[in-house]
Each structure stands twice: as structure tokens, then as C-alpha cells.
Amino acid sequence: MPSLTLVSFDACPFVQRAAIMLQEQGRAYDIKYIDLANKPDWFLAISPSGTVPVLEVDGTPIFESAVILEYLDETADEGRLLPDDPIERAKQRMWITYISKIMAKAWQLQSAKEEEKVRALAGELRGHFEELSKQLPSTGSLWGGDRFTMVDAAIAPILQRLTWAETLEPSLALFEGMPKVVAWRDALLARPSTTASIVHDLEQRSGRMLKNLGGWIARNVES
Ligand SMILES: N[C@@H](CCC(=O)N[C@@H](CS)C(=O)NCC(=O)O)C(=O)O
């Protein structure tokens, strides 16, 4: 098996996608944390867009979280997550792309300084979750029913952060009236791979980071 090193920033949901996949597969890996505010030269040499995650495979860098997920799936010992049928594979890839766009909006909601902007983004996010809700199966609480899929790995970090955002500002009601999405969120947040893929105090650290950025939802967080 090749040696795997995940180049990481501890609060990054895109890194967490890769860490969830590694945890689900039970693979051994090292983590190298970098400071995104002060990117080292060795990092910029392997990540042309300057973003984490990067997965180093025996020293070869792979960047872009969705590509890393696919690499890990293709090299799994057993239990591939992407199905054999090309249409079913395309469906997972297209919803992962959709979710990646939601992640950008979720970050804007967490860091926006004005309440009005936060409320508008919350409305847009509710629309996206309604769309996802229509795709969820009628039985089981995961994207694939009882089966964990790559879509689950891709969305878990953002469902986790938006749940933390709601703890700070319950009136956001991001999942109100969407029982299937709530069950999906609860199942993913309770999964060992979700908890094991982050530093244990990330919720508190993220709250302080958002407060320092002037985020409206974090206005009451103690610094
Ligand atoms: N499309 C990229 C997005 C990764 C991304 O935006 N990572 C953020 C941290 S969460 C980053 O590295 N930002 C650094 C920067 O933009 O300077 C992926 O899926 O890997």
C-alpha cells in the first residue's frame, strides 16, 4: 500500500471529506497541517491553486477533494463506493459537484457580517436542501439508503458546520420541514468517520474563528 499524507488546515470542510473517506476505509495516513494565512513554499509547489486538501501518495500530490475521493475509492481494497453502472456513477458525481457549490454558500453564511445577508443565504441554502431532499431514498437515512456513498462523504462536513451555525443562531431553521434531510444529517453526524475526521474541539475553534472574522452568527461567541 502506498504511504498517504493529507495536507490539511484543521477547519477545512474539503479536507474533512478526504479524512472521512480515509476513516471509512480504515486506511493509515499522516496529516501535515499548514497555515493558510502563511502558505509555505513547499505547499505552493504541490498545490498550484493554493488550496487544501492535497493528498500525497508516495510523494505524488493529488489536489481537489472530489478527485481525492475518487482516487481513494479506486484504490480501495474492497467495498468500492462508486457503483459500476455509468449512469449511477454520473449521478453521484453530479450531486457531489452540486454539494461543492453549496459549500461555498455555507461558508458565506457563516462568515457574513450582516444579518440581512445571512438570512438571504439561509433562504438559498434551504432551497438547495429541498432539492437534495427530493433525491433522498424513501428508506434508510443515507444517500444510498442503508449504504454509505461518496455523496455522504462529500456532504457530511457541511451538514456538520451548518448544524453548528444553527446552534449559534437557531432562527436560521435551515432544515425545517425537511425530515429526510434531518435524518440524513443526524445519521452522518453520528457516524464515527465524521467525528474521527476532525480535531475534537473544532466546533469551539470554528466559533472563535467566525467571531474573529466578524461573522454575524458568531456575534455572541466568547473570544
Ligand atoms: N475545490 C477545492 C476547494 C478547496 C478549498 O477551497 N480549500 C480552502 C480551505 S477550506 C483553501 O485551501 N483556501 C485557501 C485559499 O483559498 O487561499 C477542493 O474541493 O479541494
The CATH H-level superfamily of 4-74 is Glutaredoxin (3.40.30.10)
Kindly report, residue by residue over 4-33, the tens digit of the pLDDT.
Answer: 999 999 899 999 999 999 999 999 999 999
Check pocket membership of 47 for ligand 1, CB cut-off 6 A: no
Do 86-218 and 4-74 fall under one CATH topology?
no
Question: Are 14 and 52 spatial neighbours (Cβ–Cβ below 8 Å)?
Answer: yes
For the CA of 63, the closest atom of ligand 1 is 20
pTM: 0.96
Q: Is residue 154 within 8 Å of residue 69, measured between CB atoms? A: yes
- End-to-end CA distance of the chain: give it in Å, rounded: 44
Mean pLDDT, the chain, integer: 96
Tens-place pLDDT, residues 126-169? 999 999 999 999 999 999 999 999 999 999 999 999 999 999 99
Return the ligand 1 atom nearest residue 12 CA.
Answer: 10
Ranges of each domain in the chain: 4-74, 86-218
Q: 12 in ligand 1 pocket by Cβ < 6 Å? A: yes
**Backbone angle region of 37, left / alpha / beta, with phi > 0 → left and psi within -120 to 50 → alpha:** alpha
**pLDDT beyond 90 at 1:** no
Q: What percent of the chain has pLDDT over 90?
A: 96
Pairwise CA distance, residues 95 & 101, whole Å: 10
104 CA to centre of ligand 1 in angstroms: 10
Alpha carbon distance 160, 163 (integer Å) = 5
Spell out the CATH class of 86-218: mainly alpha
